[in-house]
Homo-oligomer: A and B are copies of this chain.
């Protein structure tokens, strides 16, 4: 299972295709575009992938691979529920800030993905950390629906990250507001206030 330091052509293609798909979407990128990025001819791509869709799906799988591990680990580290929540929120914000391609692909898949792809994304990528978050939500806010609380936690981080490019033009904006650390801090300030005193409804 140990890969050589050298990267295969297949992986090279995927890694260079990912930023293109993230920025322009499936229909916005041609096989020639990808080939140019890898510095080969478009025909050669078909030696590695059956067609454009197969390449795209492989790129998604590659981009989403192992993304959830850090989140699951962040929650798993022992501590008070609020400490564990804080670690999750910080990890989520930092991770998204560090990988804008992932953030973009995630949003694209949410809109363009069919049932099969959404199911795969949910079950293969998010089910594990979300399960841990659900358990934490039950501890921290037993009076509310756990699924809703878990999503709300994600929302307080993700929506700031996702809307950052547009928020620049909304009133009250300043540069600090788009920094992952600040977003995590703000989310935790709200969440701590929400759940600190045992969640009286």
Contacts and interface: CB of A to CB of B under 8 A. Distances in A.
A189 interface: yes
A8 B110 CA distance: 34
Q: Is the interface of A mostly helix, strand, loop or mixed?
A: helix
Of A107, A145, A151, A162, most buried by chain B (CB within 10 Å of CB) is A151
Contact of A147 (B119, B146, B150, B171): B171
A123 B194 CA distance: 32
A148 interface: yes
Contacts of A130: 170-171
Contact of A201 (B24, B111, B189, B201): B189
- Count of identical protomers in the assembly: 2
A166 B125 CA distance: 12
Interface residues of A, number: 58
Given A112-B25, A155-B160, A189-B201, A150 B122 contact: no
Contact of A166 (B110, B149, B174): B110
Interface in A154-182: 154-156, 158-160, 162-163, 165-174, 177
Contact of A151 (B104, B118, B159, B165): B159
B118 A168 contact: yes
A109 B28 CA distance: 14
Contact of A144 (B122, B150, B183, B190): B190
Given A126-B166, A134-B172, A155-B156, 7 more contacts: A107-B107, A110-B163, A127-B171, A144-B190, A145-B177, A148-B183, A150-B172
14 contacts: A27-B28, A107-B107, A107-B111, A110-B162, A118-B168, A127-B171, A144-B189, A146-B172, A147-B174, A149-B190, A154-B159, A155-B158, A156-B156, A158-B159
